[in-house]
Every structure is written in structure tokens, then in C-alpha cells.
Amino acid sequence: MAAAHFKLDNLVAIVDHNQQQIDGWNADVMNIEPLTEKWRAFGWEVIDINGHDFHQILNAFEKAERVKGRPTVVIAHTVKGKGVSFMENNLEFHGTAPTPEQAKAALEELA
Amino acid sequence: MGKVMEVSSTREAYGQTLVSLGKENPDVVVLDADLSKSTRTVYFAREFPQRFFECGIAEQNMMGIAAGLAACGKIVFASSFAVFATARCFDQLRMSIAQPRLNVKVVATHGGVTVGEDGFSHQAIEDLALACSLPGFTVVVPADATETAQVIRVAAGTPGPFYIRLSRQSTLRVHSNGYQFVLGKAVSLRQGFDAAIIATGVMVPVALDAAKSLSLHGIECRVLNMPTLKPLDAEAVILAAQETGAIVTAEEHLQQGGLGSRVAQVVVQNQPVPMAFVALHDAYTHSGKPEELLDLHELTPAGIEKAVRSILLKKR
């Protein structure tokens, strides 16, 4: 609200929108949708992207630079633990560090 | 010292001092949360509109903006009523200001029960406990306008977070024009060896009245104005305990977490003596005229006299 009020067009917020929180899926714990419309209602330029796609990320930042008179939010739709089979959408890893063995296995999958 | 009991307004002094500071230093910026006319930051806003940020009724966000401006090298004054500037945004004070030790001066007006008719929703009686609990925060409660002007200047020139509590209503003047505020130092306003009354803010003139009245009965009290609650002037407290053997604290705040608690910690660790606390006792109060509320809670010369007499009985 304040960022839009002060017309902060050099401000970009990024939402890592993986739809999960510690107690479960956002939709089950406390629904936050429709997120895009909420940011827009607060006066922000909203860009929805696939947060795992670097081309989309760069394009979003370039677009944000051209937006004048209001701040921009990039809603990056992501998957928690993306790319590591045993971590993807697994809430156990929200606040728990992997064991050295898990870390090794995860890095091998990502290599 | 207190001979001429003129009336002075701490928030008025704050507003005027901000304008002087603004003229002297382009890095001074001021934020308010839709109360600039009441907090008197409006004077700065009129003079320096480019350096005044109206944050609306969003104190949590105001503290975030204050932290950001401080991180960019500004000397930031952020103001609201004491209830809103502490309790509502405590997490922001803690995480965005105290933990990174940023140069934000939270100056809160309308502290204590003398907010009056606004009722308990608007009476800050926990603010000093909250502010004192934050590591790295310096906490100051000026007693009158003269002291306020100096406290604001010292705060502007001292890096790090401050919480400064001012009042809604005008208070009696305690300091003369030549007064010199020193951060972290108590001010001796009256000498005495039977008991010491350590007071802060609006209770300072009340303590002086009580001491005057007790003197008529042959009880001579030392009166210390303790503007800086944190860091506390432990030396003055210990000396008072040693030389008088009995201490009464007086504050317009809950008994716990403010001046009384802080003085007691020093006393029990260094020179245990009987103590009494003139303060609010673990209860919210009512809507009423400031004087009525002060009377109701014995935040009065009579209340302090009673407290002094009670500990004189315990004094060995």
C-alpha cells in the first residue's frame, strides 16, 4: 500500500509462491488466493511467471524496469524442493536441514 | 530549579526541536502515522515536506520504512502515540530496528494515563517495559520541555535506536534554562538523607511536591530526576541507597518493567534497602480526566508521601 502510494517504481518484490507453509498447503491452512488480484488491488504491477524458468525471470525483471509510477511484484510459481525427488513438495524439509547423506544425494540429483 | 512552576509541553518542544534539527542537518528525516498534528511532527512536515514521510495508520510499516531510511544513512525520527509506537509494532522494533541496531529514534507522545478521556485503549502503561526489554535501545522520559529539547538533540547526535516517551498534557516545568541534560545520568533536584525519591517524566514535579511536604514534617528526601531509564545511572542509585537507606520510585507506568524494576535490580545487586513503587499496579484503568486518574492511582504527592512513610518504618 505504501510502496504504491509513494510510487516506488524502482522496487520489485518477488513472491516464492510454492503454495505450502509449515502446517500444510496454503489452501488448507489459510487460503491466500487470489494472490495476483490482491497485489493488483494494492496498486502493484503484477507479473506471474514460472519461478524455475530463468528466461521468464529475466524477462520479468526487464519488464519491471519499464513500469513507471508503481512498484512491481513478480509472483514466481514454484515447487518446494524442485529437482530433488525426495524433497519435492515434502514439508518435512520446510524447516529441517538435510542430513549429510541426504545433502549428498540431493546434490547428485541436481548435478 | 523548579522555583517558578511554569507549564511546559514536551511534545511542543519536540516539534520545535525537530524543525531546528532539520535546518541544521539535511540527513534528518521524520515519519508519522496519521497523528502529525498531535505529535507535533507537523511543524517539520510543513518546513521540510520532502523529508517528511506520512505513513498512514500503519505503524508496523512505518517502523520498516524508518529502518530502511536509517540503513541508508538517515537520522530517522518516527512518531506516534506511545501505545501504537510500541505494542502494535513490537516485532518491527525488535527485528527491523533493535537487531540491526539502526539509527531510528522512536519518539512517542501521549504516554501514560494522562492521555485521559481516550481510555485504556489509548493509555500506554506498558510502553517503557517493552522498550527497555529491547537490547541496544536507549530509553528516555524527559520531565519537561527544556529537557525534551535537549534529549531530542542528544538522540539525533547519538547513533543507535532510542525510545523517547513524551506526554499529551502540559507538565510543570522542573528545569531552569541553564539545565544541561546528560544521557544516562540522574539529576539531583533536592538533597536529603532520610529517603530518596527517584522519579521520571511527569512524576518529577510530583516528587518535588511530596518532598517539600515531607520536609514540613521533618523528613528530608533526596529527589532524583531519572530521565534515562536505559542505560540507568546505577552509580546515582547506589549512592542514594547508601546515603539514604530507603528508596521510592515514581512513574506513570506499570510497576513492572519500567523505572521501579530497573532501579530495584540495581539496588538488590549492590545495596539492598527497603523500596516502594509509586506506579500502576497490574491493572488497566479507566477513561477520565488526567488529574482524576492520577488521583485514583495515587500518582500524587500524597501517594509518594505515603510510600515514603511506609518504607521509613522498614528502614533500620
One domain for residues B206 and B74: no
Distance (Å, whole) CA B306 – CA B310 = 6
Burial, B273: exposed, middle or buried (Cβ in 10 Å; 0-12, 13-18, 19+)? buried
Distance (Å, whole) CA A60 – CA A72 = 9
Is residue B129 less than 8 Å (CB to CB) from chain A? no
- Concerning whether B59 is annotated as a catalytic residue, the answer is yes
Tens digits of per-residue pLDDT, B16-50?
999 999 999 999 999 999 999 999 999 999 999 99
Please check whether residue B177 lies inside any domain of the structure: no
One domain for residues B70 and B152: yes
Q: How far is A6 from chain B (nearest CA, A)?
A: 9
Distance (Å, whole) CA A54 – CA A82 = 14
Question: Residue B77: which CATH number?
Answer: 3.40.50.970
Rg (C-alpha) for chain B, rounded Å, is: 19
Please check whether residue B182 lies inside any domain of the structure: no
pLDDT band of residue B171 (cuts 50, 70, 90) is: confident
Distance (Å, whole) CA A63 – CA A71 = 12
Please check whether residue A73 lies inside any domain of the structure: yes
Please check whether residue B178 lies inside any domain of the structure: no
Count the residues in chain A.
111
Among B270-274, B275-279, B281-285, the minimum mean pLDDT is found in B281-285
One domain for residues B58 and B133: yes
Is residue B65 less than 8 Å (CB to CB) from chain A? yes
pLDDT band of residue B5 (cuts 50, 70, 90) is: low
B61 to chain A: which residues are within 8 Å by CB? Answer: 1-2
- Domains in chain A, number: 1
Q: How far is B55 from chain A (nearest CA, A)?
A: 7
One domain for residues B136 and B229: no
Q: Report the Cα–Cα distance between both ends of chain A, in Å, rounded.
A: 42
- Residue A19's domain spans which residues? 2-78
pLDDT at B128: 98
Please check whether residue A108 lies inside any domain of the structure: no
Contact B91, B42 (CB under 8 A): no
Fill in the amino acid letter for B115: V
Q: Kindly report the average pLDDT of chain B as a whole number.
A: 96
| Selected residue of A1, A11, A42 to mutate for chain B interface (largest B Cβ count, 10 A) | A1
One domain for residues B150 and B217: no
Check B61 against A2: CB less than 8 A apart: yes
B1: pLDDT strictly greater than 50: no
A6 to chain B: which residues are within 8 Å by CB? Answer: 53
Q: Kindly report the average pLDDT of chain A as a whole number.
A: 96
Check A1 against B65: CB less than 8 A apart: no
B56 to chain A: which residues are within 8 Å by CB? Answer: 1-2, 5
One domain for residues B226 and B113: no
Among left, alpha and beta (phi > 0; psi -120 to 50; other), residue B34 is left
Tens digits of per-residue pLDDT, B192-207?
999 999 999 999 999 9
Please check whether residue A101 lies inside any domain of the structure: no
A1 to chain B: which residues are within 8 Å by CB? Answer: 56, 58, 61
Distance (Å, whole) CA A1 – CA A74 = 16
Is residue B49 less than 8 Å (CB to CB) from chain A? no
Whether the model pTM is above 0.90: yes
B53 to chain A: which residues are within 8 Å by CB? Answer: 6
Distance (Å, whole) CA B3 – CA B301 = 17
Please check whether residue A19 lies inside any domain of the structure: yes
Contacts of B136 (CB under 8 A, 6+ apart): B98, B101, B160, B161
Contacts of B20 (CB under 8 A, 6+ apart): none
pLDDT band of residue B172 (cuts 50, 70, 90) is: confident
Q: Calculate mean pLDDT across residues B226-255.
A: 98
Is residue A7 less than 8 Å (CB to CB) from chain B? no
Is residue B55 less than 8 Å (CB to CB) from chain A? yes
- Residue B89's domain spans which residues? 7-172
**B281: which 3 cell numbers?**
499496579
DSSP secondary structure string for all residues of B223-291: EEE--EEES--HHHHHHHHHHHS-EEEEEEEESSSSHHHHHHHHHHHH----EEEEEE-S----S--HH
Check A1 against B58: CB less than 8 A apart: yes
Contact B136, B79 (CB under 8 A): no
Q: How far is A91 from chain B (nearest CA, A)?
A: 26
One domain for residues B99 and B204: no
Q: Which of B59, B126, B147, B305 is catalytic?
A: B59
Distance (Å, whole) CA A44 – CA A35 = 12
One domain for residues B166 and B17: yes
B138: pLDDT strictly greater than 60: yes
Q: Calculate mean pLDDT across residues A75-92.
A: 95
Please check whether residue B179 lies inside any domain of the structure: no
Q: Is the dihedral of CA B179, B185, B186, B191 positive or negative?
A: negative
pLDDT band of residue B3 (cuts 50, 70, 90) is: very low
Question: Residue B288: which CATH number?
Answer: 3.40.50.920
Tens digits of per-residue pLDDT, B139-165?
999 999 999 999 999 999 999 999 999
The DSSP bridge pattern shows strands A24-25 and A20-21 to be antiparallel
Please check whether residue A104 lies inside any domain of the structure: no
Please check whether residue B181 lies inside any domain of the structure: no
- Domains in chain B, number: 2
